[in-house]
Structure 1
Amino acid sequence: MPLPADTDTTSPKYLRDKYAIVGVGETTYTRGSGRTTRALGTWAVRNAIADAGLKPSDIDGMLSYQSGDSTFSTFIAGDLGIRLNFYMDVFGGGSSTEALVGLAIGAMEAGMCKAVVIFRAMNGFSQVRIGGTGARAVAPVSGDMLHGRAYGWQSAGQMFAPSFMRHMHDYGTRPEQVAAVKAIHSEHASNNPKAYYKERLTVEDVLASRIICKPLHLLDCCVETDNGTAIVVTSADRARDCKHHPVLIRGVVGRCNKPRLDMHYQHGPISTVAGRYAREILWPNAGVGPEDVDITGSYDAFTFTTMLQLEDYGFCKKGEGGDYVSNGTIRLGGRRPNNTSGGHLCEGYTHGVNMVVENVRQLRHDVDDSCPIGPDGKRQHTYDYRQGGCRQVKNCEVSANLGWANPGTGSAMVMRRG
């Protein structure tokens, strides 16, 4: 059927709810997987396709990202018997997931394919670690490292610490406020059977752990794991024939930068992150605002990254992030829970995919927690958030995922229950 004559296909409104995430999949979160990233990627993609109720032959597009590791899409596709009409493998980390969802939409909108799998496979503990250890320890110093290492910026924590310290200086943010992010995410992970760390921690536990890079304590930092993760994106029309309740994509913004990226601190304020600019795209594209969001997935490479993003995307006023993350708002049962799987701090580190996976399940109302399975085969959520219990957010309708690569780059996505 042709579009009405007055349809503006250049408007973000045209794409709202036109595409959906129909399948999510992951491997176990381990340390020492004993598998190649090819095996992990194939495992996760197969699970995501099955979750959608599709066959490998139904997939004709594939996107992946890596940061000196992983496996190319064509190998994963070949192992699963998938012939691709479109594929692309890109370099990138934490800001990739939401950006690639946007690229998948663009590829389908251009008629290049009809269903796209996005995956990330990484042996993030046993092989290529994010800091200067593991396989990276013997890598030649080149590119941006020639600048960063001269200042002692080898790990992510070292590179991001100036933004964290400046926020504390400018706004009086206290370490115990931000430590609440870890404590709350650990509560969520205690209700997640697949989380790597399930132990509930306190703010005092975080502050008592050793300093890694001021102001970061050990427990302010994410857990390194080996894993594969994947999501399936297709049209909303096709989603209606898939296995689960459709989760519609309202809007995306991908790899939005501060005015200068390589040395973002030269274009202040240092404690402002890319979300300050990305929100000018995200909320108009999605047609909603922060006040409409029921659940967030704010990238938690560190406790501070969660706080800075929630603040700069407008969930609270600038300078009030410390209070926002420590006053109960982001806890299960609070106004707007964050990272209900435990996120990168507790479930596993996936460069952002697992937080999208979790929010998809939240919007389906079928989070895989410890609640009992009913006679109809569906989980009977109790909304009892004590340890070992439920983590499903009641009446969850709209989610926001906030991806982070570094203070100067970010991506984001808003989804809703169809």
Structure 2
Amino acid sequence: MSFTQDVPHMPMQTEADVTTNPFLRDRYAIAGVGETEYLRGGGRTTRAMATIAVRRAIEDAGLEPSDVDGMLSYQGGDSTFAPFVAGDLGIRLNFYMDVFGGGTSTEALIGIAMGVIEAGMCRTVVIFRSMNGFSQVRIGGTGVRAAETVSGDMLHSRPYGWISAGQHFSFTFMRHMHDYGTTPAQVAAVKAIHSEHASNNPKALYRKRVTVEEVLASRMICEPLHLLDCCVETDNATAIVVTSLERARDCRHVPAVIRGVVGRVNKPRMDMHYQHGPISDVAAKYARERLWSNAGVGPDDIDVTGSYDAFTFTTMLLLEDYGFCKKGDGGEYVSDGTIRLGGRRPNNTSGGHLCEGYTHGVSMVVENVRQLRHDADDSCPIGPDGRRQHTYDYREGGCRQCRNVELTANLSWAGAQTTSGLVMRRG
């Protein structure tokens, strides 16, 4: 008897099965954002970096440390724990939680923050991620602390050569190419376009523009991934402040109002997701109805996306299965100019994980918050009012603020088998 015959039938969730919770729509907002520099070999502990990023996020909101009484973090690798960061800043917490997870942590933690505030457990929550992702614990299982990462599921996967994220995900990427004729050149456009955005981002690690041809000419890492299809590795910390919309309106900036969120939606199999087909489908297929129903909008309403780009392929798959284009049309969607600054729906306007720095998705939320404020921190001149005078000239070294941004979506990835999502509007 084959393995698949032993697995019980698991019916696909339909739109009618989705239970949504729109009653939290427009009740919470991101009031502040903060980050350290994106470096390689910064020489700082994750505790020091987290303290800097959290303090900057609180200051960005116009708050004092005493205004914060909740803290959440994505804990993993060489990260640090929330109570230590709180103590360093003189914050007494009414609630904290350090959550282990992958790239889907950010949006899920935002949902948890909304829930604990709604439950009356605290009033204002800071979420942070701090990681020495280049100099200490590298994602591929190498680096000075590599031995510490060989545990749990990796004990199963390492003997089979499934060590890096690219090796785990290559099944889905290759199958999409087989099923729909997607080409490496189409998907390489994601890197080329994100590099254009990063060239207008003074804090991006990689600011050099690259072409599709240069992506395809870079050395092969794991078929079909070339070196330039893969994200950067950086040492950094990032943070955001979540509070009620009522309170956020009294803060320093126009709030980024949370319309809807979904957290860690899974495919039927999490451990060996490729044993549940179609292999070329990702968890966004199951998350999208809940996200759009909670938010009260659809893909066509979104002005800017932040689609997780651990690899060029992840961006394409998420945009496709969240419904921004038809299944199988993702290659064309990411290569026809739609996601470019000045295009119909720009994506990862900071350069994302492929160019700016790797933060497990927090920086993508930070970027969309700034887009909603109409104040992306690019190279445009500062006016007399202290705000950037955006030129909307997207040539190299210029602007990266999109015109009239009202709605953004963040789409995250910890693998083909799980996703989180977030929709925000300008307050």
TM-score (norm 2): 0.95
Deviation string, structure 1 residues 295-349 (Cα, Å, up to 9, x no partner)? 0000000000000000000000000000000000000000000000000000000
The equivalent of 1:240 in structure 2 is: 249
Please name the residue that 1:6 is paired with.
Answer: none
Q: What is the CA-CA distance between 1:192 and the residue it aligns to?
A: 0.2
**2:258 alignment partner, one of 232, 239, 249:** 249
Spell out, residue by residue over 1:357-397, the C-alpha distance to the aligned partner (whole angstroms, 9 max, x if none): 00000000000000011111111000000000000000000
Cα deviation, residue 142, structure 1: 3.2
Picking from 206, 221, 225, the partner of 2:215 is 206
Question: Is the aligned partner of 1:395 residue 2:407?
Answer: no
Q: Contact (CA 8 Å) 1:66, 1:93: kept in 2 or not?
A: no
Query: Which residue, out of 156, 178, 197, partners 1:147?
Result: 156
In structure 2, which of residues 84, 93, 109 is the aligned counterpart of residue 75 of structure 1? 84
Correspondences of 1:35-74 after superposition (within 5 Å): 35-74=44-83
The alpha-carbon deviation at position 60 of structure 1 amounts to 0.3
1:180 maps to which residue? 189
Are residues 1:412 and 2:421 paired? yes
Counterparts of 1:140 and 1:166, CA distance in 2: 29
1:162 matched to 2:183: no
SS at match of 2:176: helix
Q: Which position in structure 1 is the counterpart of 2:40? A: 31
Cα shift readout 1:270-306 (whole Å, capped 9, x = no counterpart): 1111100010210000000000000000000000000
For 1:43, what is the secondary structure of its paired residue? Answer: helix
CA distance in 1, matches of 2:149, 2:245: 46
- Report how far residue 177 of structure 1 moved: 0.2
The aligned runs of 1:19-418 (5 Å cut-off) are: 19-139=28-148, 141-418=150-427
Once the 2 structures are TM-superposed, how far is the Cα of residue 137 of structure 1 from its aligned partner? 2.9
Q: Tell me whether 129-138 or 245-254 shows the greater mean CA deviation.
A: 129-138
Cα shift at 1:252: 0.4
The alignment partner of 2:310 has SS state of coil
Q: Secondary structure of the equivalent of 2:243?
A: strand
The root-mean-square deviation of aligned C-alpha atoms, in Å, is 1.0
Instruction: Structure 2 unaligned segments of length 5 or more: list them.
Output: 1-18
- Whole-angstrom distance in 2 between the partners of 1:352 and 1:66: 14
Task: Choose from 1, 10, 14 the match for 2:23.
Answer: 14
Of 131-140 and 310-319, more deviation after overlay is shown by: 131-140
- SS for the counterpart of 1:406 is coil
SS in structure 2 of the partner of residue 383 of structure 1: coil
C-alpha distance in structure 2 between counterparts of 1:269 and 1:313, whole Å: 16
Q: Deviations over 1:49-80 (max 9, x none)?
A: 00000000000000001222210000000000
Residue 206 to residue 115, structure 1, CA distance change in 2 (3 Å): same
How many angstroms apart in 2 are the aligned matches of 1:224 and 1:365? 28
Question: How big is each residue's C-alpha offset from its partner over 1:241-280, in whole Å with a ceiling of 9 and x where there is no partner?
Answer: 0000111000000000001110111111111111000102
Output the amino acid matched with 2:278. P
Percent of counterpart pairs with the same letter? 79
* 1:146 CA drift (Å): 2.5
Assess if the C-alpha contact under 8 Å between 1:99 and 1:252 holds in 2.
Answer: yes
Partner Cα distance (2:348, 2:22) in 1: 28
> Matched residues in 2 for 1:222 and 1:120: separation?
17
Amino acid at match of 1:98: E
Residue type at the aligned position of 1:198 = R
**1:4 corresponding residue in structure 2:** none
Residue identity in the other structure for 2:173: F
Tell me the matched-pair count. Answer: 409
Amino acid at match of 1:172: G
- C-alpha distance in structure 2 between counterparts of 1:171 and 1:63, whole Å: 40
- The equivalent residue for 1:5 is none
Residue identity matched to 2:417: G
Q: CA deviation at 1:140?
A: 6.5
Q: CA deviation at 1:11?
A: 6.1
Q: Which deviates more, 224-233 or 136-145?
A: 136-145
Displacement of 1:136: 5.0
2: CA distance between counterparts of 1:345 and 1:41? 22
Q: Quote the Cα distance in structure 1 between the aligned partners of 2:138 and 2:309.
A: 16
* CA drift at 1:173: 0.3
Give the letter aligned to residue 238 of structure 2: T
The answer on whether the counterparts of 2:35 and 2:236 sit within 8 Å (CA) in structure 1 is yes
TM-score calculated relative to the size of structure 1 = 0.97
Native 8 Å contact 2:198 2:204 kept in 1: yes
Contact 2:77/2:149 (CA < 8 Å) preserved in 1? no
How far apart are 1:92 and its partner, in Å? 1.0
